[in-house]
Amino acid sequence: MSMAPVKLWDFHGGIHPEQNKLQSTTEPSALAQLPKKLVLPLHQHIGEAAEPIVEIGDTVLKGQKIANANGYVSAPVHAPTSGKIIDISEHPIPHPSGLSALAIVIEPDGRDAWVEYTPDQDYSEKNPSHLRNIIREAGIVGLGGAGFPSFIKLNPGSQKKIKTLILNGVECEPYITCDDMLMREDAHSIIEGVHIMRHALQAEECVIAIEDNKPEAYESICKAAAGIAGLRVALVPTRYPQGSEKQLVQVITGKEVPSNGLALHIGVVCHNVATAAAIYRAIHLGQPLISRMVTITGQAVKQPRNLEVLIGTPMDELLQQCGAEFDQIERLVMGGPMMGFALHEINLPVIKTTNCIIAATREELGLDRPAMPCIRCGACADVCPVKLLPQQLYWHARAKELDKVQEYDLFDCIECGCCSYVCPSNIPLVQYYRFAKGAIWTQEQEHKKSDQARERHEFRLMRIEREKREREAKRAKKKAPRPKTDTAKPPPVDGAQMADKMRQEAMAQRDSAEAARKTEIQAALARVQAKKKDAAPKTDAPVAANSPTPAAASTQASTPTSDSDSSADTATHKDHEQSQ
């Protein structure tokens, strides 16, 4: 069954730089040698860095997960071979900043022993969510260079209908040939990956796009895709930057991805061919992403070629394997000469997004051409695929007029480098745009920080003001006169008044107690007198009333009774009364 042709569309601008691809495609790809150690950065993708789940001294098996994804936009990391964890610390990583980041270091044991894994042959029976979970756990990210977690791009949401899945085999940037070799040598894995991706996206159709400078790859893919319903292969004319997502979507569908929008918004999802192959291995074989194809090239390399490389392999070992003349390397670039970036060290590890390493000599990258003033020729605008005005962007970026560069849609710039490439004055335009983007980003961070500080300060002032008002309200409440009602409490008295009042009450109580006691004493004395009177011999001598006999008086003084206690109390009380 012959394949239906794909109608192609055009995009604005673009260039035809020297390809420099043949050098690395003369030999078939090969396996890279097992290195002495593997350095696995925890941040090899767009999103949050992964979190280690192993410790120094642990032994691990090939394919064993060693770091978990940290959040939704993140990806786990797996051991590329069996061995021992010998370090978990900061290591230099391949990044334009030249900074270091946390990495897990494995010393291979040479056995290359796999962890137990579960292949899933009948993926078509599984729901898309199940497949996305496997892809996520396998740590698969976009292998075209972006590094965005692939499971997210396979999840359009229940509201969005995906009509077309575009598989990007364009590989338009000079020097890079890893996708070309993969399509030539392993078309089967790519096509199997397409089936899984279509199922996950529930996409109506798939178009695999390949530039016409890769005839072997085109032939190989066409052969593997023959007879598959809804799958077509498009041979597109070679032009840089056709492999950029927005440009490719336009070429294949005729639709323009809106500014600040995604291809998803017009019913299209785009993935790289190498990502499709990695998804096939994750689902059918149960293998996580632990290796990838890397192009080792540049004039300082004697045997440029493609190698299947374990993630974490130091680049200098790969260069050595390809016969690099280290003293000839003027600049080491990761990615292509247009969108790649210079590396600060030679022994940095290969990460999931390393598609190409260029060991360039001084002449090779035109490093000797000095920049000259802009002659306002307009050539840069003619080639800009996003229809920007690169010359205006350059002036404003140079003058650090950050508001103006944004007015000229700086953030729509895909940093393709077409403008720099054609500039007769050799102005490194993209570097100015990157600088301006970085400055805007820094400024926004600083604004955000100062906004937060201002909010904190305003909140503190508000709190102080509120507490002050509350204190004043309490004080005013205390001072306010009490309402005059029957049930109202007596007005507050001060301390002296209160003390007087208590003293008066105590004295009143004491006086009444004394009066009661005096009454009791007098009654007791009366009773005693009455008894004496009854007991005394009847004489004629007159006895004074209430006068005790001498004996009785003596007995009363020496033998205390309850009554005598009362007498003592009475005497004491009398003394007290006299002292007052």
**Where does this chain bind ligand SF4 (CB under 6 A)?**
374-380, 383-386, 388, 390-391, 393-394, 413-419, 423-425, 427, 429-430, 433
If we measure between CA atoms, which residue out of 556, 580, 568 comes closest to residue 521?
A: 568
Least separation, in Å, of the C-beta of 22 and ligand SF4?
26
Q: What is the DSSP string of 316-333?
A: HHHHHHTTB-GGG-SEEE
Chain length of the chain? 580
**Type of residue found at 226:** A
Between residues 377 and 513, which has the closer beta carbon with respect to ligand SF4? 377
Least separation, in Å, of the C-beta of 340 and ligand SF4?
14
| Cβ neighbours for 423, distance < 8 A, ≥ 6 positions apart | 379, 380, 429
Between residues 328 and 431, which has the closer beta carbon with respect to ligand SF4? 431
Between residues 289 and 416, which has the closer beta carbon with respect to ligand SF4? 416
Least separation, in Å, of the C-beta of 387 and ligand SF4?
8
Between residues 279 and 386, which has the closer beta carbon with respect to ligand SF4? 386
Do the beta carbons of residue 389 and residue 13 sit within 8 Å? Answer: no
From residue 27, give the alpha-carbon distance in Å to each of 184, 196, 306, 345: 12, 31, 8, 28
Cα torsion angle, 239, 243, 247, 253, sign? positive
Q: How far is CA 420 from the centre of its chain?
A: 34
Between residues 164 and 244, which has the closer beta carbon with respect to ligand SF4? 244
Between residues 16 and 466, which has the closer beta carbon with respect to ligand SF4? 16
Between residues 54 and 436, which has the closer beta carbon with respect to ligand SF4? 436
Least separation, in Å, of the C-beta of 13 and ligand SF4?
7
CB 161: neighbour CB atoms within 10 A?
11
Least separation, in Å, of the C-beta of 359 and ligand SF4?
25
Cα distance between residue 335 and residue 360, in whole Å? 12
Least separation, in Å, of the C-beta of 378 and ligand SF4?
5
Helix residue ranges, H only, 284-423: 315-321, 379-383, 390-398, 402-407, 418-422
**Backbone torsions φ then ψ of 336, nearest 5 degrees:** -90, 175
Q: Residue 168, class by beta-carbon neighbours within 10 Å (0-12 exposed, 13-18 middle, 19+ buried)?
A: buried
Least separation, in Å, of the C-beta of 405 and ligand SF4?
11
Between residues 104 and 423, which has the closer beta carbon with respect to ligand SF4? 423
Strand partners, 305: 296
Least separation, in Å, of the C-beta of 427 and ligand SF4?
5
